[in-house]
Amino acid sequence: MLKLVIFNLLLCLTVCGDCQASWFPTGAKWHYQYSAFIENGFTSLEVLDEDTLIGNHMYKKLLSLTVTGTAPDFLDTFTEFLYVFEENQVVFGYDQWSGGTLLYDFNATVGDTLPMYFGGWSPSPFIVDSIGTIEINGHLLTFQDIRFPSLFDSTEYWKMRAVEGIGSLYSHLFHNRTVIQPFDFPFYWFHCYEDANLGLYNVINQVDCDFIEGTSSIDKVPKAKAFIFPNPSADFITLKTEGLPIEKILVIDILGTIRLLQSSTHQKLYKIDISELENGLYFTIGLNKNGEVLFKDKITKHSR
């Protein structure tokens, strides 16, 4: 009898544990198309294996990387840290612009008003219009459709869909960077989400997750594969590439500054001297002749 009780208890825990998606597992990534008044690019968010105490809560640390431009000569990068905290399906975010704010509440029911904030000239109220489920890669996730008044016509309502574990499918994870703003604000169009459990979820299958809109086509940009070793390294890294020819290789620091730029000769192995760089995290980015990103990866400079 005792064995039967223990089995039923474990079964309940297993079933209940599958009822809710995990928020912010280490390595989880979001990909957005970035569009501003005079430039296009992409923004990626990645959950780091690092926690930060803010107030009374431990927040997960997210690294945000934005790459803009349509040609190597005009490429620009920007990085920053964002912070997220989730408890019982209620998600809070913290950044340098708005401080702390509620991002999502999956305990809310239909008709509830959410104390959400979209930054700047923010509409209100935000009302849960409907709740349902969506199947993504074999996982059944809860979604909320949230309505709110238009900034330009109070009689017109817009909607956003938020999915548990992922966030908004229509905007940036943080609402103060959302597409739902006056037209001179940056737009962030959600493209992909991926983590080790859910896998890759690409909402626009014909477009690459880190697509930068170019001058000739919106088709998926083919990629190159890159293998970097040793990593971490104190002096030199070797970059082995497979696939399309690479025109430029960039090494970018955590502040978004291009620290090294190397023109390629379409070879398969590149030796890059990082001995003059400070210890820390850097990005390597490979570009084709049109300035489109063929690969991006992280490296660590570490000198004992």
- On whether residue 78 sits in a domain, the answer given is yes
Look at residue 244 and tell me whether its pLDDT is greater than 90.
no
Q: Do 53 and 194 reside in the same domain of the chain? A: yes
Q: Do 157 and 255 reside in the same domain of the chain? A: no
Q: Do 265 and 140 reside in the same domain of the chain? A: no
Please tell me the predicted confidence (pLDDT) of residue 94: 92
Q: Do 88 and 175 reside in the same domain of the chain? A: yes
- On whether residue 286 sits in a domain, the answer given is yes
- Work out the mean pLDDT of the chain and round it to a whole number: 79
- On whether residue 210 sits in a domain, the answer given is no
What is the mean predicted confidence (pLDDT) over 222-235? 81
Higher-confidence position of 183 and 109: 109
Higher-confidence position of 95 and 243: 95
Q: Do 61 and 141 reside in the same domain of the chain? A: yes
Please tell me the predicted confidence (pLDDT) of residue 300: 84
- On whether residue 145 sits in a domain, the answer given is yes
Domains contained in the chain, number: 2
Look at residue 11 and tell me whether its pLDDT is greater than 70.
no
Please tell me the predicted confidence (pLDDT) of residue 127: 94
Please tell me the predicted confidence (pLDDT) of residue 2: 46
Lowest mean pLDDT among 17-21, 218-222, 250-254: 218-222
What is the mean predicted confidence (pLDDT) over 202-210? 74
Domain of residue 264 covers: 224-301
Look at residue 162 and tell me whether its pLDDT is greater than 80.
yes
Q: Do 194 and 284 reside in the same domain of the chain? A: no
Count of residues for the chain?
304
Give the containing element (helix H, strand E) for 8. Answer: helix 2-17
- On whether residue 47 sits in a domain, the answer given is yes
Tell me phi and psi for residue 72, to 5 degrees.
-55, -35
Kindly report the CATH number assigned to the domain that includes residue 275.
2.60.40.1220
**Model confidence at 60, in pLDDT bands (50, 70, 90)?**
very high
Choose among 209, 185, 190, 180: nearest CA to 36. 185
Residue 97 three-state SS: coil
Q: Do 67 and 162 reside in the same domain of the chain? A: yes
Higher-confidence position of 285 and 113: 113
Among residues 140, 171, 202, which one ends one of the domains? 202
Q: Do 44 and 188 reside in the same domain of the chain? A: yes
Share of the chain above pLDDT 90, in %: 30
Among residues 141, 171, 202, which one ends one of the domains? 202
- On whether residue 266 sits in a domain, the answer given is yes
- On whether residue 237 sits in a domain, the answer given is yes
Q: Do 85 and 183 reside in the same domain of the chain? A: yes
